[in-house]
Amino acid sequence: MRVLVLGSGAREHAVVHALRRSEGVSEVYAAPGNPGIARAADCLPVAADDLPSVAEAAADLKVDVTIVGPELPLALGIGDEFARRGLRLFGPRRDAAMLESSKVFAKDFCRRHGIPTADSRCARSADEAAAAARELGLPVVFKADGLASGKGVLMVRSEDELAQAIEVFFVQRRFGDAGDKVLVEECLSGEEVSYMAITDGTRVVPIATSHDYKRAHEGDQGPNTGGMGAHSPALVIPPGTSRLILNSVVRPAVAGMAAEGREYRGVLYAGLMMTAAGPRVLEFNCRLGDPETQAIFLRLDDNFAAVARDAADGALQTASMQWRKEAVACIVVAAEGYPGSPRRGDQITGVDDAMALAGVTVYHAGTKLREDGTLVTAGGRVLSVCGRGSTLDEALGTAYAGVERIDFTGKWYRPDIGRDTLESLGASAERA
């Protein structure tokens, strides 16, 4: 099989790494890839969201299946572009990717199909947003309708924060057109869980569980980011809950999309709050999570290329995938300034030293090779450093040992990935 991976982040690096372990895969291409991916795949100088060029490359290179990492190409309709040309793509078409690209669509969809989610109102102006906040009662959450790289969500706990949120969304228009409509949502509390599954439009294959850390700073403080770390398995999901999520959220969503003529193929990611009243959907994503995938896919003991091909064909052959019974922790190493404008161009050292440690894998994201061969920072989330272990405790120790070996000016990371999980489990008794 010849496989093309679209994207340039650590998630895509992890996918390429998994494809290299898949039986029957002869060629792996990436567009555009990054310096880490270039060690394992042929990188094409094509942007992931340049749909005609990507499709031409897939046709020229006789690619058997194209796997889309980020949401943007999907929201732009790469699924439709490939379908028109008779090319195979793992990912939903544009009208199905709307589960991620429009939070208002996703919310209405949940209501239509009885999928549990937070109560909300859609606001198109400052006045409507203020009225919605009053009606729901503070605290509430403001969410840009469109794509915002995980940064379009603001918590509103006080009248001051309400005035600020209205300023950010409707006066500054920080999220541009993506913020034309704003979802004002009741604030839920509980443990957050990311749940992903692969679907061919009808059948559903769950992906191993994970826990993602979205806030920038220690103790879940600071602004939302794309994700500062993750571990797999999630471990705090009580027995039976996986099945509950599958049956009350994922299966009804896949069936609902089919019933609406928006057949959903690819990865369906549900971001959930486990409330006292049961799971509630916070968001849907139409692709693999980043950084969850970096942690999860290191546990994959199965042929991802074949599963992706079969899902794209609407013909999944299996009801489950095999995952190693071990823990993986992923620590995102970020550049100064992230999640705002990051510093760029700082020399990165120690990646090979980190990789030399037993159990450490380093995936590249915001990195670039200068002409003289020096590896430098080139984005907010620079590297994902993963550690494997028989327990989460061990996996975290390994991952942080890797992080310690890496250096660049302005390097920072969250020191407390997994800490809450270890605390709720009692670290000594914990077994992955």
Binding residues vs ligand GLY (CB under 6 A): 150, 212, 226-227, 285, 289-290, 292
Task: Round to whole Å and give the CA distance between 227 and 152.
Answer: 13
192: partner contacted, choices ligand GLY, ligand AMP, none (Cβ within 5-8 A by kind): ligand AMP
Site membership for ligand AMP, residue 281 (CB under 6 A): no
232: partner contacted, choices ligand GLY, ligand AMP, none (Cβ within 5-8 A by kind): none
Q: How far is the CB of 398 from ligand GLY (least distance, A)?
A: 21
Written as six digits, the tokens of 62 are: 């006789």
Q: Which of 94, 203, 211, 214 binds ligand AMP (CB under 6 A)?
A: 214
Q: Which of 71, 145, 283, 310 binds ligand AMP (CB under 6 A)?
A: 283
Q: Are 209 and 271 in contact (CB under 8 A)?
A: no
Site membership for ligand AMP, residue 153 (CB under 6 A): yes
Q: Which helix (H) or strand (E) holds 216?
A: strand 215-217
Written as six digits, the tokens of 52 are: 């005609």
Written as six digits, the tokens of 16 are: 């390429």
Q: How far is the CB of 151 from ligand GLY (least distance, A)?
A: 11
Q: How far is the CB of 104 from ligand AMP (least distance, A)?
A: 12
Closest chain position to ligand GLY (CB): 227
φ/ψ of residue 431, rounded to 5: -135, 135
- Classified as helix, coil or strand, 380 is coil
Site membership for ligand AMP, residue 156 (CB under 6 A): no
Window 230-269: contact mask with ligand AMP (x via CB under 6 A): ----------------------------------------
Candidates 186-194, 339-347, 370-378, 413-421; binding stretch for ligand AMP (CB under 6 A): 186-194
Print burial letters for 321-333: b (CB count within 10 Å at least 16), e (below 16): bebeebbbbbbbb
Candidates 21-29, 33-41, 79-87, 187-195; binding stretch for ligand AMP (CB under 6 A): 187-195
290: partner contacted, choices ligand GLY, ligand AMP, none (Cβ within 5-8 A by kind): ligand GLY
DSSP, res 356: T
Task: Round to whole Å and give the CA distance between 131 and 123.
Answer: 9
Burial group, residue 219, by CB count within 10 angstroms (0-12, 13-18, 19+): exposed
Site for ligand AMP in 89-148 (CB under 6 A): 118, 141, 143
From the list 225, 180, 201, 181, the residue with the least C-alpha distance to 95 is 201
DSSP, res 391: S
Q: Are 253 and 268 in contact (CB under 8 A)?
A: yes
Residues interacting with ligand AMP, by CB under 6 A?
118, 141, 143, 150, 153, 185, 187-188, 192, 214, 224, 271, 282-283
